[in-house]
Structure 1
Amino acid sequence: MKKTPFRLTPYQVQWLMVVGFLSVGYALYLRYLAIEFSTVSLACDAGLQSMLCQARSLATVLYKNSVFGITALVIAVLNLIRPSIVLMTGGVIVAGLGIVLYNIELSGLAIGLLILGFARPAPATA
């Protein structure tokens, strides 16, 4: 029996576009209005306890330890082995965050592996 390659439906493509734009948009918001904006940076470093400061500190810890890039790479390898829309969604979210939040090398590699996932056959249905 011949397996067909992994293909997304138009609704799944729209879903991935929405999720991708939202994750990259939130990452841009964090980077330029929380991490690099000097007023917010000084206020958070002075001890301000707000949701923005907590998100800033969490993002800072995660990108210092390359969590975005490593997670995107792991999800992309799993998607390469067995492609699915769930793994593709997770990979797009984490790779989008990683590209904007300074984990460029590993997240870029993960995006390449996510694209290669379309060359693999779809999982067999039961």
Structure 2
Amino acid sequence: MKVLYTAEALATGEGRDGQARTSDGKLEVKLASPVELGGNGEGTNPEQLFAAGYGACFHSALRVVARRQKADVSDSSVRAKVDFGANGQGGYGLGVHLEVSLPKVDAATAQALVEAAHQVCPYSNATRGNIEVELTVVEAAA
């Protein structure tokens, strides 16, 4: 792979109950386990950060694919949901649900764009074969 950019962040403290900061200082967050996992929920958690990153990255890939196909993806959005759970082998795993809204294209075009974006998106390429990623078009033009 020809590296085009490297992001860097440092996590300190107590892991899920610590803090994280990017090397450029543009992102600095307090981390806290969610209440559902026994934490106090008073900070963000790695799954939320992953959801935000994946959603933004997928949306960008979707826009690239749409531009190539001259499809109107204005007013589009991607909601990313990241599941955390026991994997049945003594460890933990993740699952992702991406809900894509493409109100200006028909359902067939929307589905084709989502599938094409899934082949382009770096997060999709990194997770493919490792975790389940469910893609759903939640809105398209009639």
TM-score normalised per structure 1: 0.31
**Higher strand proportion, which one?**
2
TM-score normalised per structure 2: 0.28
